[in-house]
C-alpha cells in the first residue's frame, strides 16, 4: 500500500488531560488518539498537531495529521475514532491531504479565545471553561490595552520561560474583545504564539481591567521585552484554540 497523509480536525475538552502532547506519565490527547488509530490501523502512528495545548486548555478546532499505509478511508477513520474515543474528544473532520502537508509547519495563523466570567456569582457549568472574576472589569480599558498588541512586535514580555531560543517576534492580526452575557471573551489571532503567550497577555489585560495598568503601561511592558514586567498568567481553563488557518 502507498502511504497516505490524513488530516483530522477535532475538538476537545482539555479538563481531564495533561495537555495535547504525549508524555510518559499522564493521559494526553495526542496519546489517546494515537492509541485508537493504532487499534484501527494496526500501525503505530505519530500525530502532528498545529501546536500543543497545555493541561486544561480546550480546542474547538484543533488540526493534526498523520501518515499511514492503512487503506481505511478518512470517513471511516472519523467514524471509527468517534466510536472509540471518550466523549471529551470528538473528530469533526477527516480528509486526505498531499504528502507535503504538515499541521505545524504550514500554519499561516491561529486564533485563540480566552473566556472570563465577570459577575458577582460563579457559574457551576462554566467553572472548567472560564476564568471567574467577581470584581467588575473595565472593558473599555481592556479594549484599549489590547489594541496596543496588534502588529509585529517582540513578545518576549509575554513569553513564559522554557522557549528562549525561539525568535520572539510575532504578528498579531487581531486582539479584541466581545461580551456575551456576563462574559468577557478576548480574541487573539497571530501567525504564531510563544509559550503561554495568550495567557500571559490575558493576565496583563485583566490587570488593566482592574485599573492597575493602562494602555500606556501595556506599551511599556511590550517594549521592555522582559517577562518580569508583565502581569500574572491567566489560568488554563479559560483558553480555547478556536481555529487554525493554512
State the residues that interact with its own copies by CB under 8 A.
11-13, 58, 82, 87-90, 92, 121-125, 127, 129
Binding residue per annotation — 114?
A: no
CB of 61 to its own copies, least distance (A): 12
Choose between 58 and 196: whose C-beta lies nearer to its own copies.
58
- Please report which residue ranges of 87-246 form alpha helices under DSSP H: 139-147, 197-209, 215-224
Nearer Cβ to its own copies (89/218): 89
Packing angle, helices 215-224 and 139-147, rounded to 10: 40
**Nearest distance from C-beta of residue 58 to its own copies, angstroms:** 8
Candidates 65, 91, 95; CA nearest to 78 is: 91
Nearest to 169 by CA among 190, 187, 188, 148: 190
| Smallest gap from residue 144 Cβ to its own copies (A) | 31
Helix (H, G, I), strand (E, B) or coil at 139: helix
Cα–Cα distance, 214 to 216 (Å, whole number): 5
Q: How far is the CB of 29 from its own copies (least distance, A)?
A: 11
Q: E strand or H helix at 172, and its extent?
A: strand 169-178
Nearer to its own copies, 94 or 177 (CB): 94
Nearer to its own copies, 143 or 237 (CB): 237
What residues act catalytically?
A: 54
CB 206 within 8 A of CB 234: yes
Binding site as annotated, residues:
112
Binding site as annotated, residues for substrate:
112
Amino acid at each position: 500500500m502507498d502511504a497516505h497523509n490524513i488530516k483530522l480536525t477535532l475538538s476537545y475538552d482539555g479538563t481531564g488531560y495533561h495537555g495535547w502532547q504525549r508524555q510518559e506519565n499522564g493521559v494526553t490527547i495526542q496519546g489517546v488518539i494515537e492509541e485508537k488509530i493504532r487499534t484501527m490501523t494496526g500501525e503505530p502512528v505519530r500525530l502532528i498537531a498545529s501546536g500543543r495545548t497545555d493541561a486544561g486548555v480546550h480546542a474547538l478546532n484543533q488540526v493534526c495529521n498523520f501518515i499511514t499505509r492503512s487503506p481505511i478511508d478518512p470517513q471511516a477513520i472519523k467514524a471509527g475514532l468517534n466510536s472509540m474515543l471518550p466523549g471529551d474528544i470528538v473528530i469533526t473532520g477527516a480528509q486526505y491531504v498531499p504528502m507535503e502537508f504538515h499541521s505545524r509547519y504550514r500554519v499561516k495563523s491561529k486564533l485563540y479565545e480566552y473566556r472570563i466570567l465577570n459577575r458577582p456569582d460563579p457559574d457551576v457549568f462554566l467553572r472548567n471553561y472560564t476564568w471567574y472574576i467577581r470584581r467588575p472589569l473595565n472593558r473599555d480599558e481592556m479594549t484599549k490595552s489590547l489594541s496596543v498588541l496588534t502588529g509585529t512586535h517582540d513578545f518576549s514580555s509575554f513569553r513564559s520561560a522554557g522557549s528562549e531560543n525561539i525568535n520572539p517576534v510575532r504578528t498579531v492580526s487581531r486582539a479584541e474583545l466581545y461580551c456575551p452575557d456576563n462574559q468577557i471573551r478576548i480574541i487573539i489571532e497571530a501567525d504564531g504564539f510563544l509559550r503561554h503567550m495568550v495567557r500571559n497577555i490575558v493576565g496583563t489585560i485583566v490587570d488593566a481591567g482592574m485599573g492597575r495598568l493602562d494602555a500606556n503601561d501595556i506599551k511599556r511592558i511590550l517594549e521592555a521585552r522582559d517577562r518580569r514586567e508583565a502581569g500574572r498568567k491567566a489560568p488554563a481553563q479559560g483558553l480555547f484554540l478556536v481555529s487554525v488557518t493554512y
